[in-house]
Structure 1
Amino acid sequence: MLNAALPDVPVRGREITIVGIDGAGKSTLATRLHQALIDAGHKAILVGKHSTDVPMDAKLSAYVDQLNALVYRRDSRVAQACGDHYWLLALAAWYSLQDRVVIQPALAAGTHVILDNAHHKILARYAVNPAVSTGLAEQVFAHLTEPDLVFFLHIDARTALARKGEFSSLESGHTGGAEEDFIRYQDTVLAKLREHEQRGGWLSMNVTDMDRDAVFRTAIEALADRLRLSL
């Protein structure tokens, strides 16, 4: 008796995460890497803080969008009134849901995921917040899917500000509206990201004096070398 042919099981996709302070160029690199994978014939999705589409499930997509609106599209006065602990748990809920219904199914189906705006910057921000336990912040994100490769775009805060041109209150840690407030806060966040880098084996790229094309080329070479992705 002949055995029935086993169904093809797709090779698991790879999760590629991009980390850095505000103004480091994360979204620019994420967009270009996503397009490069598509152009090379790979299945790939770009996931950011406003990615709410759940393939083939309109109701779940609508629910994800509602949570996204609560977390990212809220009035700044309301945000401050809710307090730091609330927003830590709200952000953890958002990242948990996105990981479960968007990222994990994509990886299981053999689709590569480019993740912009990963939770690592959230951890770094809470690590410099004395009102919230660092251990609590790390615990609520600990279950998220471990990325296959993390690009850490290293840039000093003054250069990042020159590239951005303007910044929000959140990007200065709600410490003030002067440029030095942004620089001081972002340098503190950068120091915390460096601590995560040492523990996580990230691929660190000093992009301070690199143009966007050079950053992209370096990242492409890393994808081919470390993840064996043909591009």
Structure 2
Amino acid sequence: MTAAAPPTTPARGREITVTGIDGAGKSTLATRLHQSLNDAGHTAILIGKHSTEVPMDEELSAYVDRLNALVYRRDARVAQSCGDHYWLLALAAWYTLQDKLVIQPALAAGTHVILDNAHHKILARYAVNPDVPTRLAEQVFAHLTEPDLVIFLRIGAHEALTRKGSFTSLETGHSGSADEDFVRYQDTVLAQLREQQQRGGWLSVDVTDMDRDAVFKTAAAALADRLQLTI
């Protein structure tokens, strides 16, 4: 009688993060990469700022959803009253649960994760905030899973504003409501993202004069070259 073969452990999934300033096209690219990976026969999930489903656990899903409501679906006046230190720690709690309960189990099961709205932009925003030590912001996110590939969509704030057409107070750093407030703030965030890119070996793509198809083709080529994922 031959012994049964031991169960095989699936190859770890890959985490692909898309980052950039507001209006760079992050969500558009992340959605297309997710769909294309699945269409090509891979198993992939798309994680965004409102992804709260914990597989096979309704109670945890409900808890994560309540935290998401506190962090992202709050009243603007309440948000400003709580202060920057509070929101840094609240965001750290949100990213921690999403990483521990959704991303890490998916990767362990061999599922690829496309991550939109990752913490890199949060770090960039706090790096230009004089009221919160940059080192503190770096520490509270340091334990998160390191992406296998970060795709940095580079675009100037003027061009991003043209694409967006409108913006929120958060997207000006609560500095005002005029177009120049958006441009000034987003350009400082862009500079901080460039610094992170230099330290992290990201794939940096200047999307200023690229249409959506060209951006996707560039990202798809990077997945094939760096991660051996063909789509």
Q: 1:78-117 CA distances to partner (integer Å, 9 max, x unpaired)?
A: 0000000000000000000000000000000000000000
Match of 1:44 in 2: 44
Match of 2:27 in 1: 27
Secondary structure at 1:153's aligned position in 2? strand
Match of 2:137 in 1: 137
Q: 1:186-228 CA distances to partner (integer Å, 9 max, x unpaired)?
A: 0000000000000000000000000011000110111011100
Match of 1:120 in 2: 120
Moved over 3 A (4+): 1-4
* Whole-angstrom CA distance in 2 between matches of 1:222 and 1:199: 19
Q: Which amino acid aligns with 1:23?
A: G
Q: Which amino acid aligns with 2:197?
A: E
* Whole-angstrom CA distance in 2 between matches of 1:90 and 1:127: 17
Q: Does 85-94 or 54-63 show the bigger shift?
A: 54-63
Q: Which amino acid aligns with 1:43?
A: T
Match of 1:190 in 2: 190
**What is the number of equivalent residue pairs in this alignment?**
231
Match of 2:180 in 1: 180
Match of 2:160 in 1: 160
* Whole-angstrom CA distance in 1 between matches of 2:71 and 2:51: 13
Structure 1 residue 230, shift from structure 2 partner: 2.1
Structure 1 residue 3, shift from structure 2 partner: 4.2
Match of 1:208 in 2: 208
* Contact preservation (8 Å) 2:220, 2:230: no
Q: Which amino acid aligns with 2:9?
A: V
Q: 1:106-137 CA distances to partner (integer Å, 9 max, x unpaired)?
A: 00000000000000000000000000000000
Q: Does 1:224 align with 2:201?
A: no
* Whole-angstrom CA distance in 2 between matches of 1:15 and 1:177: 36
Match of 1:57 in 2: 57
Structure 1 residue 8, shift from structure 2 partner: 1.3
Q: Which amino acid aligns with 1:77?
A: R
- Normalised to the residue count of structure 2, the TM-score between the two structures is 0.99
Secondary structure at 1:189's aligned position in 2? helix
RMSD: 0.8
Q: Percent identity?
A: 79
- Normalised to the residue count of structure 1, the TM-score between the two structures is 0.99
